[in-house]
Each structure stands twice: as C-alpha cells, then as structure tokens.
Structure 1
Amino acid sequence: MRKFCFSIFLTTLVTFAFAQKSMISGKVTDKNQNPLPYASILLKGTVRGVQSDLQGNYTLKDLPSGQYFIQVLLLGYEEFEVPVELGAGEEKVVNLALTEEPIWVNSFELLSSRGILGQEKLPEIENFRINAGKKNEVIRVRDIDANLAMNNSRQIFARTPGISIWENDGSGIQLGVASRGLSPNRSWEFNVRMNGYDITPDPMGYPEAYFTPPMEVVEKIEIIRGASSLQYGPQFGGLMNFVLRKPDQTTRFTAETLNTFGSNGLFSTFNYVGGTEGKWSYTAYYQKRVGQGWRENGYFNTDHAHAEVSYAASNKLKLGVEATYMTTESQQPGGLTDELFNQDAQQSIRSRNWFSTPWFVPSFSAQYIISPATKVEWKVFGTIAERNSIGFMRPINQEDDLGSRQVDRDYYTTYGSELRMTADHRLFGISNTLAAGLRYFNGHIDRKQQGVGDAGTEMNFDLAPGQAYPRDLDFRNTNLAAFAENAFKFSDKVLVTAGLRMESIQSENQGQFGVSNGAPVILDPVSRARSFILAGIGAEYHVTPTSEFYSNWSQAYRPVLISDLTPPATIDVIDPNLKDAKGFNFDFGYRGNIGTVFHFDVSYFYLNYNDRIGTISQIDLMGQSYRFRTNLGQSISQGVEAYLEFDPITAIFKSSRYGYLHVFASLAHVNAEYQDFLVTSIVDGNVVERNLAGNRVENAPRKINRYGATYRFKDFSMTWQLSDMGEAFADASNTFEPNAAATTGLIPAYQVQDLSASYTLKKKYTLKAGVNNLTDERYFTRRAGGYPGPGIMPADGRTFYTTFGIRF
C-alpha cells in the first residue's frame, strides 16, 4: 500500500512538473524587422510578464494551459494584442511586430531618445492609484549625469521646480528637501516612502527621514505635490516615493558593479545582481561608502544592503518579500559662527560628535487580479531602527571642555499594513476608475536623552558607569485610515477626480522628563484621539493630444508630533487643546510637449497652512514666567513653478550626426508669509506681544532657479548645471544680523555650478566623472538650532569624482 501511494504521489509530481513546462517565446520587432529591446510583454488579466532583451527576444515560462491574450507595450509604438491558445506542455513561438504611433502626452520617456531629456509625469492611472489632475513629477535617476554615489540632491532634483534643499550632509546619508516654503528638515513635510511603503520612524508622530536609499539603485523618484493627501497621507508637501530598480526581466542573471573614487578619500562600491527565471524574480544590492568629508572631522562609513524576491503563485496572484538594511558611522563636524565661516568654511571645532542610524525595513506584498477590471494589492511593512548621537551639544560659540559627552538615543519599532484596490467601471454611461484603500499603522518610539557618556573622541553610545538617562519617554501612535477616489472620464478630453480620506489617530506620550534635585520629574501622561475627513477634487482638460490643463484642490494636515508633546524645559506647558495643523493645497497648470523639441510644465500653487504650532511666553498666577506651546496662527505660500526644456538641434536640423543638445530651466518664485501669528516675550516681568503677520516663513527662499544643458552623442553625455538660490531667514522673526551662536540671521543667496559626464562602451562598461561646485563657492543653506549643529552648517566646496562600472 505504501509503495502504491508513493507511486501515485510520484506520478502526480511528474505530471505537475510536466504541466508547468508550457511556455511562450518569440521576438519583438518594428515593421522593418529591427529588434525592439525592453518592450513589456504581458499576459493580459494575469500577473505574468517579462521584457524583451537587447535582441528583442522574450520568454514566458511555467504557464498553465489555456487561452491568453499577449499584450505588448513600448513607448512610441501602438499597443499590440494577440490571442494565443496554449496546450499542456506546449512551447509556442509568437513573434510580435509593432508599428509606431504619435507621441502622446504620457510618452515623455520616449523623448529622451529623440532629443529631449524632459521631466516626466505619472500616467493618469497606474499602480493602484489615480494621478490624473495632480501636479507630479518623475525623476529618472539613472538617466541623469550626477554624482549618484554621494546622493547629490542638488543634481538629482535639478529638473523639479521649487525644491529647496539643505546641503549640510556631505556624506549623502540623509536627504533634506521641501517645496513651497515648507521646512527641508529631513524631508519631514513629505510623505517619504520606498517602493510604496513607509521608511520614516512614524509618518504621524515623527516623520523625519533618517534613511535614504542609495541613488545608484533608485530607478525613479515619484513626487506628487500636496494633492497626494487623499491616497497616501496628509502631509502638506505631498508624496516622495523612491522606486528601486526591479529584477531584470530579460535574463536569468545579470550583475553590475560601480566603483567610485573621489575627493577627500571618497570610495564607494555598489554591487547589484538580479534576474528572472520562470515564475521567480529576484534582486539584491550592496553598497559600501567611506570618506573623510570636505570639512574637518567629517568622516563617514555607511553600508546598505537590500534583497527582493517575487513569485507568481498563479496567473492571478503575485507574492513578494523584500528587506533593506543600513548601518552608518558618521562624524559630525558641527556648526560654525559667522566669523569662523568667513575665515575658513572647512574648519571644525567639534571633533567628538558622532551620529549613527542603524535601519532595518522588511516588507511583504501580494497582488491579486480579481478580473480584468479589478485588482488588489496588500502590503505589510515595518521599521526596526535607531537614531544615536554623542557629542558636546552646547552653542557653537562655547569651547568644547573635553569633558563627558551627551548621549541621545531613539529606538523605533513600527509596523503597518495597506490594502489598495483599483476597479474600472461604468457609471451613468461614463468610464470610471475607482481607487480605494485601507491603512493601519502602529508606531512606538522609545526616546532616551541627556545621558552622560564618556570623555573620549570615538563613537561610543554607552553611558558612563553608574549613569542613567534623565529623560526617558515612551511615545505610541496608532493610525487608521480609509480613502476612496474616483476618476470620471467624460470624454477623451475631460477627466475629473473626486475623493475622500478618513483619518483616525491615537497618540500617547508618557515617561520621565528629567531629574530635579536628584528626584525624577515624571511627565503628565498625554493621550490624544481625533478623527476627521479630508476631501479633494481635481480635473484635466486635454487641449491637444500632447498638452493639457490640470487643477487640483486637496485638504491636508500635519498631526501633532512627538516634539510638540515634549516640552524642552520643566517650566514649559503644553496646551491641552493643542490641535493638528490643517489646511489645503491648490494647483492650476498647463503641461505637455510640442513635438520632440519642447517640453513644459507651468503652474500656479497656493498652500494654506492653518493652526501652526509655536511657543509663546506667559505669566502664571504666581507671577512666574513660563513657555506655552499652542496653535499660534497661519501661513500662506503661493507662487509659480515652471519647467521648460528645449532641443535646438532637433528643432532646426531635425536630426544630427554630431549629437543633440538639451537646455532646461527649472524656475520657481515662492512667496511664503505668515498671516495672523501671535508671538510674545517677557520684558521687565511683563508679557510683550507682537504679530509676525507679513514676515517671511523661515528657510523659504523666494527664488529657486536651476538651469542646465546636456549634450548627448551616441553613448556619451555631459551635463552642466547652475543653481541660483535666493536668500532666506533662519527664524520667523526674520532676524537679519546673526546672533553670537549663529542660530539666527540671514541665509545669503548663492550660485553653484556642477559638471558631470558619462560614457558607456558596448553597453557593458561605464565611465563617469564630474566636478561638484565647479567654482568652489563658499555658501550655506542652514543655520541649525541643535544637532548636527548648532550654528552655520557649510555646504561642500569643490569636489571631484570618477566612477568605473561593468555589467555582466
């Protein structure tokens, strides 16, 4: 009996294995039989798909028998479908010939091969979301001539109008960007994600982006301005999503190594493998980056690792798992006074400050196609991470006494889940697409601060013997959300979107605030629960097949953060009725292209930021002064953002044997001002009031202009870029003259240039080189009030880099 059962099992296994051997293969060509690489070959209504290789060949393996429709997508060519009947164990050859189509408004990627290297926009409906009617940009990172080894954000965001950047992190570990007068502090006004899931400690309680993936593995950066609040989250800045390079669908195995050498001892090695075999796809990378930094005491040593595996469990179900790990060791040069900066911006008077952010982000995803019109996606993700610092933290105009250093440590443990769905349907005879989703997030932050560390010079986060943390706080945040947005396509020219997002937030903060006269000071526990609804509406009107008007109005909010609930001193008081900041974003613009020679996106924006949180001085009933944190007022940012790119050679000569020249301008005028915003101070025991109405919002330059030109000839390209930035203030009082600690005062205007080039030989060997800050300008973009300062944080001067790469 046992032998009979084993025989049945073996027969079943062999039959199953044989049934999985069915496959479809072939070649994708144009009408002249020239091979077309990188065409997407999809089995319509399934999760299965591959890309054609450099010779146009493709293979779809391990397919069950049945009736299929092969769908072929390639920008610049008409969408192609062909039915295929596949029998059990059959190997069928299906060759596919495509015909060219006109360049439509969504085909910006094609323009790079025809003379324009423009800023793309997202498709109207894609990847479980609706992008129509929204101000958005797509940055194709690998197509940019830039110092990607160092995550040079000035070059990476050059073509994205209105992006302000804090350029004080010469190690490339952290990214600080913002738009429309918002703060660039670790990009915290953006909803920062990677591959569609959260990578910050807590988007609702502590949204600072300590982790940035290496740009050498980032395929693209998707930016949706404030209108993303319905589908992703409430942030005023919108969504910034890093999309990592996906597994190579053209081969079983590919490998790439990029090795960069540069100024100040820079060495970076990036190594990548990936491929597709039947139902399985995989990718992995490892990056090591070390250097001394442009400034004294600026050492950094970082390691990044990532692995991703996906499996087509059936024709309708695809499963994926990925994990990312980062470890950092970074010496912080600290800030400078204005006098020290003018003497020598490279100097540092802080030699014992260190910073580290171990970061682990796992995720699981599942995609299921219910029908050709309906599909769902489920993501589960988490973050296990730390933020650690040690150093001499006092104002920069105080000399380091070489005594015990202060240790601050955060421990982040978060997990979340998002379920998203899109469904095509008809309503009142109109074609519609519905996007809907549910979100759950649970965040926990264990904050330990003001610990007494050692008196050494190396990175060591251990406390001195017998010491404990005076401040030990526990912050928990739970978020439930649901959204629904519908795109109504009234005609080929008119599309309208409308939607709602429901939010429920529960925040708790408790623990020990400090120690007074040897006794612990316990913080009164704070618990806040709130629920509300956000609304939004948008529209597109296609003026021509290649241009459109777009507009969007969408509500946004910024929750009360952990820093808002934690008083900096024992005498400070938190308003028990402290509210989340709320407001809205509005956009109206016109975008598109004229043939293959001119690409544009010009828009007006208006950002209303209500109930901004601040601190004012008060007198209690005993005549004692205290600081009161509450909602103080409003700011409004408005202005114009414009992106223009032109190819003069194609415009004049149609084609050229000597290459093409693309010139671009990314322009923004931002007027960010406070409206009614009360501030107070104590003068001779009395409260003195004044209003910031009419003051400019801090860290918000009015002029954000970038210009550039790219020359391309076959496999060679070179890009020159100029960044022209206006002045800004470091504080809301618009203090012009700097204080002694250099934490307030004017941030002067500056201009800085970059030059980068790349050459690819036989599609296997790569050589890149460049000069950042070509004219060696001395400038700064930030006056820090605390770590990694305090004081002026100089940007890097002139640096060089060279990259050698090979792909197998």
Structure 2
Amino acid sequence: MPPLRRAALPLALLISLAPLSAFAQSTQPNSDTGEDQSTTPKAVNLPTVNVRADDWRKYLKAKLVYQMPEVDGPKITVTKKTTVTHLDNQPTVIGNNLNQVLARTPGVLVSEQPTPTQFNFNYRGVGNPQESEFVLVMQDGIPLEGDWIGFPTLYAFPMTQSLSEVQLIRGGSSLLYGPEPAPVINLVSKRPAPGTPLTVTTEQVVGEHGLFSSYNVIERNQGAWAFRADAGYVHSDGTRANDGSQNRQVDFYLGYQPDQQQLWWLDFHAISAVSGDPGRLSYTQWRQDPRTVNTPYNRDWVNRDQLVLGHTRDFGDNWHLEAKLWFTYQDLVSRSAKAELPLQPPPTSTTLQDEAFHTMGADVRLRKNWGQGNAFTIGTVLFHGDDPFRQWSSPNLLIDRDDHSGTSVLNQSRTSQYASLFAENVFRLPYRIHIVPSVRLEHEQISVDETVRPPFLSRPFIHETDNRNVPLFGLGLGNDFGHGNETYFNVSQGWRPLRYFDIASPFSNLMPGHAAALSKSVSWEAGVHGAPVTGLYYDVSLFWIDFRNRLETQYINAIDTIEVNTGDTRSRGLEGQLDYDFFAPTQWATQGQHLETFVNVSLLNAKFTGSDIPGQVGKVPAFSPAYLVKTGVTWRNERVKLSLTAVSSAAQYWQDSDKSYGSGETYMPARMPAYTVLDLASDWRLNRSLKLLAGISNLGNRKYFDRVWQNGLEPAFGRTWYTGFDLSF
C-alpha cells in the first residue's frame, strides 16, 4: 500500500472518532448539579481537513492491457520490458497474417513466406530470421521449435483464432525461459471463461487465390470441469503454380479444478501442413514475372503433435507451484530437385529428406511471496531430444513422402540433452524502488552419429559429442513514480545453443578440429512506461546488445564448408510505443465504445565490431533495418471491430557481406528495398449468434519482398481479400 493510503487510514479514523468523543463528553452528568445535560449538547467546531487518496490499482489495471503482470504466477517480469497483444481487442486474423498478429508488437520483423511451412522472425538485427532460429517462440511457455537445443527452427504455428494473446519479453528472457539471445515470443492459448455454458462456434471464410478457411470450436466451463476443443482447416492455391497449401489443426484442453487452490489440466495440439515449393527467384526474374516457377516438383510436409500435462497449486505460507510435463513429435519431410533452367532438360532425380524430432521436457517453478511485496522464484527445466536425420535419392520426381525405396544417401542419429536451474527475487524497497537479481545455470549436450554419408564426400563418418555449461546473470532495477509511471533498467546475459549442424556439417568434407565457441549476448535496456492518464499508455526505451562469437558458414570451395566463430556485432537503438483510446475519457467508454490509435517504432543501428573475415568490421548485419514502424487505428464496441494497420520497414541487407551477387538472370541486389504495407480487417456482429468477417490485406497492392535466402527471394502476396461469417449457438 502506498504511503498516502497508509496515512489516510488513521487520519480518517481520528476524524470519524472525534465527533463521537465530543458527543460523549457533552452527555456526561453535570459535576456540580448532578443533572443530566444530554438534552442540550454543546456544539463543537472542528478544523476542516481535506483527505485525498490515490488508488494505485487503477494505474496497474490500465498498464496490464499492454504489459505482463510484474509477478505472473511463478515468473517475475518486473524490470523486463514486456508487451502484450490481446487478440480479442482486434478483428479476427485470417490465414495467419503475422503482420496483423504482431502489428502492436514493437520491433519484431516478420520475413514473409507465403507458404505455411516455415515462419521467420527477427529482432534488433540479432541473427538471420531464417526459420526464427535466433528468437525463442513458445506456446504456453513450451518451445514450438523442432528441437529446442539441436535444431531450434520454427516450422509450425498455431492458427491465430486459437490464441488469446501474444507476449513479447525482451531483456532477461534467457534468464526466464532459456536459450536464444532475445526475445521470447510466447503465444497464449484460449481457455473457456469460468461460467461458460456449452457453446459451439463455427467460422467459415473464403477469399482470393482459392482461400478457404474453416475454424470450429466447442467449449464449456461450469463447476470443477472445463474443456475446449477446436478443429481448423485452411486451403490456398497460392499465387504461383506449385504454391498451393493445406493446413490442419486440432486442439483439446481439459481442466479440473477441485478447489480454489489447485488446477490440473491436459493440453493436446496437432498441426499438419503441406505445401508446394515453387522455388526462389532472382531479382531479375521477380521484376520480369513474380509468378515464375523454378522448382515445379518440390514439396514440403510438416506434422507436429504435442501432449502437455500441467498442474498449479497454492500452498500455505504464500507458496505457489506451476509444473508442466510435455511430449512432442514433429516430422519435417521435403522433396527437392534442382531448379529447372530455361532451355535445359528437367532434373533427373530428387532428394527426399526426413527429419523427425521426438522430444520431451519438464518445467517446474515455485514462487514464495514474502515481506511487503517481495517475491522469490526458483525452478528447473529438463529437456531431451531424439532426432534422426535421413535422406534418399530417387529418379521419381513426384515420390511420395513415405516412399523410402530410393537410395539412402544420409543417415544420422542425433540426440540433445538440456538442463537448467534458475532463481530470481524481486526486492521492494522504500520510495517504490524494486531490484531483481537473477541467475540461471545451463547445461547442454548434443551428439551426432552417422552411418551413411552423401556419396560425393570422402570424409570419415561423423561421431561427435559436445558438452557446454553456461552460467547466466541478470540485474533489473525499477522505480514507480507519479501517476502510474515506472522507470526500468535491465542488464542480462543470453546465449544461443550449439546446433547439430554447428559441430559438423553433414554436407562438407571438412571436419572441425573442435566445436565453435558458444554465441553469447549481453543486453542493456533502460526506459520508462506507464498509463498516467485515462486511455493513454506509453513505453520508450534505449537498448544496446553485444552479440559475440557469431557462428557463420565459411565456404572453403564449392563443396566444403565449416561453421566457425567469425566475429561480434553490436545493436543499439530506441524502441517506443504509444497507445491512446480517444473514447476512454468520455462517457462513451461506459457504453463499450473504443477508438484506439497506436504507433510503435524501432530505430536500429547495428554493425560488426569484430570479425575474422577481412573487411567485415563496420558492415551492417543482415536483416537490420534502420527503422521499423507499425501503426494503426481500431474502432470497436460490442458489435463492431474495424481496424486499419500499417507496417513500414527501411531497406535492409539480406546477407552480412552487404554485397550484391550474380548478373543478368541471376542478379540479386545487396539490399531489399523499403516497403510499407496496409491491412484492413473487420468483424461486424449482427446479433448474439452471427458475426460477419471481411478484410483486405496489402490494401495498396504493394509489390515487394522481405524474404531472401542464399538461393533467391520469395515474392510477398499482393492485394488479397477475404469474407465470411462466424456463427455461435
């Protein structure tokens, strides 16, 4: 309780008792006559006292619309910069349009790939966004990567209709959750609200390029039991031949709450995606015809199944437990042949690749509240992965995903082990100061054992094992001041795990003498945020990230590569967020009317500060745009959600060399051009049961790309529309 509130209580108590005391004295018998004088009480004039109390809870509630609680269950997030996007406060997102999902999430760069089998995020210029390898993406605090340690790539993403919010945690994220430098993107699944009767909802949408999206839910939460089940399907023909895709999803949640102190739950998630791969284009091909197809036979399949068992419990003496146990199976299968070149015969063989991931983990955390607002957390995470990697060569260019009749050209067994022990404490000091020291101890072990190697190699079989022990430390400082404002400072360490490919490339003749050093980061962030007036939220900070021992692929010749530590980078800049609801200070807010506008901006200055590559120092790392701006306006009430959003990115290099390559048909410029894209989305509720959906993505039909890899670029979608309905009963 703030000092003003504590002082107000005894003062109010004295004021309330003073008249009673005076009245009691006036009703005493007269000492001289012995007569009762109660019929003629004497008036007592007291000095006027004005008492004002500032209820801090209204500011905390306002901030929680935009950031995580300071102590969120067993997790301490105070002094860690966080952003929360509540998806129910914006129109329905169709087809996993990630620019719309993350429009209110500052600094996260989406490198767009039209097909739903890879998802590419980047943040503050730390690493290539390829498959989000440098960003930890989680669902309900559990990694979504194929193998969190040995193969941290993102090939599956839940349909956004099944999510309630998106959490972004910057500095201190590695101390809170584990490997990857920063940040953590945590996707929170929807749960049926308490008291929900049996409800069935169906959403049916059609749109351009053969889009058909179906999402269906049945849920109930009454008494001790709650459940929610959903099933989704999305089909698209794409914009190029061999660009069609299908995505299926099934989720099931079952919760049991025997009393107010504990909850048991079971979660099951299944995602299945299949997509053609029309191939990447050179810049010249893209300018001439973005519908060009280079690989008409290639195809990708992704399957991911996950079972989670969880338990939370409040014990006596202010102890709280949260425990999760999960089992995941993910299978990545691809069929790839060489690109078809003009006036050349088609390829004569294809490679079928199968990477399976059998992983399991446990996350156990305890929190103890003590003293006046202090909290201590301690926990452990254990993880194991068993991930065979196989390839076959076949003359059948359309070979099925389960047909292993071809010639075996690669077979590796791969395993990963990970364990961590961590602790944090928030100390509440006088003058609303808080301090959060953090420590985390990490252990990683990965192994690769090879029995079949590619026929064009002559090196020995790979039999490599590597162990790493990593201590991490962090410190956060904060101070609440004024009306709902807070300054915060955080310095913390992070790291990137050593992957299977880092200890030995399966496609190179060279064997490293020893594994490369771990890539580590130190992140500094200082800022201020708050909700000082009704309807307004702001958050602005300065950041600095030193990322050392970057791992890069070094080409020795056309075949031989090696993963080595080539240098260090520094990323610094400003990140700001401003949200304002114009209707919040008015009586319209009491009627459920909101007119919200937001803008968030990331200004980035990144460069190489050290490198073994001659001439590399001073260059800008790949995917480090000087600015990334997201803005929009949303009108919402009980019947309408209408939103116009925009994402604008500066030009950026797509490779660390900052150089173009090729000429003529193979030309690729050094930088991807700047772009600005607008999206319009709307939900219109006609009655309690029926809601209409409609929207237009890339409203200005901007021709652009922001996804480039070593073999070319992928065109982004042009203007597309969708329309449909949502029916509940």
TM-score by length of 2: 0.87
Which of 188, 199, 223 matches 2:133?
A: 188
Q: How far does the alpha carbon of each residue in 1:205-255 deviate from its partner, in whole angstroms, 9 at most, with x for none? A: 111111111100100111111311112103112221111111232234122
Partner of 2:38: none
1:438 to 2:380 alignment? yes
Partner of 1:82: none
* Structure 1 residues 649-660: aligned runs within 5 Å: 660=594
- Give the whole-Å Cα distance in 1 for the aligned partners of 2:161 and 2:221: 21
After TM superposition, give the deviation of residue 523 of structure 1 in Å: 2.5
Paired residues in the alignment total 674
Q: How far does the alpha carbon of each residue in 1:660-685 deviate from its partner, in whole angstroms, 9 at most, with x for none? A: 53222111111121111112xxxxxx
- Give the whole-Å Cα distance in 2 for the aligned partners of 1:241 and 1:166: 18
- Give the whole-Å Cα distance in 2 for the aligned partners of 1:713 and 1:425: 41
What SS does the aligned partner of 1:758 have? strand
Partner of 2:603: 669
- Give the whole-Å Cα distance in 2 for the aligned partners of 1:759 and 1:164: 30
Answer with 521-530 or 290-299: which moved more.
521-530
Q: How far does the alpha carbon of each residue in 1:734-780 deviate from its partner, in whole angstroms, 9 at most, with x for none? A: 01455564566321111111111211233432112110001111100
Which of 715, 725, 728 matches 1:804?
A: 725
Which of 40, 55, 60 matches 1:106?
A: 60
Partner of 2:272: 327
Partner of 2:697: 772
Q: How far does the alpha carbon of each residue in 1:691-717 deviate from its partner, in whole angstroms, 9 at most, with x for none? A: 311111012211101221223355223
Which of 424, 430, 453 matches 1:485?
A: 424
Q: How far does the alpha carbon of each residue in 1:257-316 deviate from its partner, in whole angstroms, 9 at most, with x for none? A: 111111111111101111123211111110011110133321111110011111124554
Change (3 A) 1:101 1:630: same
After TM superposition, give the deviation of residue 618 of structure 1 in Å: 6.5
Q: How far does the alpha carbon of each residue in 1:429-482 deviate from its partner, in whole angstroms, 9 at most, with x for none? A: x54201110111001111113x2135344x7224574x3321111211101100
TM-score by length of 1: 0.79
1:605 to 2:529 alignment? no
Answer with 700-709 or 183-192: which moved more.
183-192
Answer with 258-267 or 394-403: which moved more.
394-403
Partner of 1:719: 643
After TM superposition, give the deviation of residue 574 of structure 1 in Å: 2.1
Contact 1:226/1:235, CA 8 A, preserved across alignment: no
Change (3 A) 1:400 1:250: farther
AA at the equivalent of 1:346:
R
* Structure 1 residues 54-453: aligned runs within 5 Å: 104-108=58-62, 120-145=66-91, 148-168=93-113, 170-182=114-126, 183-313=128-258, 316-371=261-316, 373-394=318-339, 401-426=346-371, 431-449=373-391, 451-453=392-394
Partner of 1:55: none
Change (3 A) 1:763 1:583: same
Partner of 2:23: none
- Give the whole-Å Cα distance in 1 for the aligned partners of 2:270 and 2:503: 30
- Give the whole-Å Cα distance in 1 for the aligned partners of 2:266 and 2:74: 18
Task: Please identify the structure whose Cα radius of gyration is greater.
Answer: 2
After TM superposition, give the deviation of residue 399 of structure 1 in Å: 5.7
After TM superposition, give the deviation of residue 338 of structure 1 in Å: 1.3
What SS does the aligned partner of 2:601 have? strand
1:707 to 2:707 alignment? no
1:644 to 2:568 alignment? no
After TM superposition, give the deviation of residue 525 of structure 1 in Å: 1.2
Which of 484, 500, 503 matches 1:565?
A: 503
Q: How far does the alpha carbon of each residue in 1:322-348 deviate from its partner, in whole angstroms, 9 at most, with x for none? A: 111111221122111212111222332
AA at the equivalent of 1:455:
N
Answer with 136-145 or 355-364: which moved more.
136-145
Change (3 A) 1:765 1:580: same
After TM superposition, give the deviation of residue 370 of structure 1 in Å: 1.8
Contact 2:284/2:668, CA 8 A, preserved across alignment: no
Which of 654, 664, 680 matches 1:730?
A: 654
Change (3 A) 1:617 1:327: closer
Which of 396, 399, 402 matches 1:455?
A: 396
Which of 485, 489, 503 matches 1:547?
A: 485
- Give the whole-Å Cα distance in 1 for the aligned partners of 2:313 and 2:133: 33
Change (3 A) 1:243 1:650: closer
- Give the whole-Å Cα distance in 2 for the aligned partners of 1:744 and 1:525: 40
AA at the equivalent of 1:177:
F
Which of 449, 459, 465 matches 1:510?
A: 449
- Give the whole-Å Cα distance in 2 for the aligned partners of 1:770 and 1:333: 27
- Give the whole-Å Cα distance in 1 for the aligned partners of 2:592 and 2:273: 45
- Give the whole-Å Cα distance in 2 for the aligned partners of 1:393 and 1:224: 41
What SS does the aligned partner of 1:452 have? strand
Contact 2:661/2:668, CA 8 A, preserved across alignment: no
Change (3 A) 1:628 1:198: closer
Change (3 A) 1:576 1:513: farther
Contact 2:283/2:668, CA 8 A, preserved across alignment: no
- Give the whole-Å Cα distance in 1 for the aligned partners of 2:361 and 2:602: 36
Which of 504, 511, 532 matches 1:594?
A: 532
What SS does the aligned partner of 2:501 have? helix
Contact 2:256/2:264, CA 8 A, preserved across alignment: yes
After TM superposition, give the deviation of residue 365 of structure 1 in Å: 0.9
What SS does the aligned partner of 1:107 have? helix
Structure 2 unaligned residues grouped into runs of 5+: 1-53
Change (3 A) 1:668 1:269: same
- Give the whole-Å Cα distance in 2 for the aligned partners of 1:348 and 1:745: 23
**Which structure has more strand as a fraction of its residues?**
1
After TM superposition, give the deviation of residue 109 of structure 1 in Å: 7.2
After TM superposition, give the deviation of residue 395 of structure 1 in Å: 8.6
What SS does the aligned partner of 2:612 have? strand
Contact 2:458/2:509, CA 8 A, preserved across alignment: no
Partner of 2:51: none
- Give the whole-Å Cα distance in 1 for the aligned partners of 2:231 and 2:431: 46
AA at the equivalent of 1:670:
L
* Structure 1 residues 661-700: aligned runs within 5 Å: 661-679=595-613, 690-700=614-624
Q: How far does the alpha carbon of each residue in 1:553-598 deviate from its partner, in whole angstroms, 9 at most, with x for none? A: 1100111111212325433232404111112111111111232232
AA at the equivalent of 1:189:
F
What SS does the aligned partner of 1:137 have? strand
AA at the equivalent of 1:359:
R
- Give the whole-Å Cα distance in 1 for the aligned partners of 2:208 and 2:448: 45
- Give the whole-Å Cα distance in 1 for the aligned partners of 2:309 and 2:585: 48
What SS does the aligned partner of 2:284 have? helix
Partner of 1:44: none
Change (3 A) 1:201 1:725: same
Q: How far does the alpha carbon of each residue in 1:15-60 deviate from its partner, in whole angstroms, 9 at most, with x for none? A: xxxxxxxxxxxxxxxxxxxxxxxxxxxxxxxxxxxxxxxxxxxxxx
Contact 1:512/1:520, CA 8 A, preserved across alignment: no
- Give the whole-Å Cα distance in 2 for the aligned partners of 1:648 and 1:738: 52
How large is the Cα RMSD of the aligned pairs?
A: 2.6
Structure 1 unaligned residues grouped into runs of 5+: 1-99, 111-118, 680-689
AA at the equivalent of 1:791:
G
- Give the whole-Å Cα distance in 1 for the aligned partners of 2:727 and 2:588: 34
- Give the whole-Å Cα distance in 2 for the aligned partners of 1:730 and 1:784: 8
- Give the whole-Å Cα distance in 1 for the aligned partners of 2:644 and 2:345: 42
What SS does the aligned partner of 1:186 have? helix
- Give the whole-Å Cα distance in 2 for the aligned partners of 1:398 and 1:280: 65
- Give the whole-Å Cα distance in 2 for the aligned partners of 1:366 and 1:188: 30
Answer with 570-579 or 409-418: which moved more.
570-579
